[in-house]
């Protein structure tokens, strides 16, 4: 922000990045944390699919596994007013139960996934002043 922008912000009472300080840093870092967390869930989904066992279902095979929405529903942080844990973050996403079917166990593994159930999950994290903690 240039000199004029900073003066205007100060005169108008608009918070600048410097004035926002720790809240801005925690908020930005929580958005990155949410992105990283969703990446971990994506990896978990791949592992869940890999380890899912196909079972005989009529003349075909089917398998079920847990996956996750690609993007969170909400990713927000706020100040707590507590010095030891100055911020908390809330991450909301959908956990999905998938089913795949095919003529063989291998085809079931690579078949199109059908969502059987979607459950909203909310996870709360705390910021200890340096990093987000589960």
DSSP code at position 66: E
Task: Please tell me the predicted confidence (pLDDT) of residue 2.
Answer: 40
DSSP H stretches of helix in the chain = 3-12, 17-51, 105-110
Phi-psi region of 43 (alpha: psi -120 to 50; beta: other; left: phi over 0): alpha
Split at pLDDT 50, 70, 90, the class of 14 is: very low
Length of the chain in terms of residues written: 134
Which residue is listed with tokens 């969170």?
72
pLDDT at 100 over 80: yes
Range picked from 5-14, 61-70, 123-132 for highest mean pLDDT: 61-70
pLDDT (tens digit per residue) in 43-66: 999 999 999 999 999 999 999 999
pLDDT at 31 over 80: yes
């Amino acid at each position: 922000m240039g000199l004029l922008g900073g003066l205007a912000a100060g005169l108008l009472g608009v918070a600048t990045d410097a004035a926002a300080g720790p809240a801005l840093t925690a908020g930005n870092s929580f958005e990155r944390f949410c992105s990283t967390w969703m990446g971990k869930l994506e990896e978990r989904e791949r592992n869940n699919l890999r380890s899912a066992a196909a079972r005989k279902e009529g003349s075909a095979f089917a398998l079920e596994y847990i996956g996750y929405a690609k993007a969170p529903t909400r990713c927000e942080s706020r100040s707590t007013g507590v010095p030891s844990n100055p911020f908390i973050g809330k991450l909301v996403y959908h956990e999905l139960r998938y089913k795949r079917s095919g003529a063989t166990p291998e085809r079931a593994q690579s078949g199109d996934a059908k969502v059987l159930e979607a459950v909203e999950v909310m996870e709360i994290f705390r910021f200890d002043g340096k990093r987000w903690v589960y």
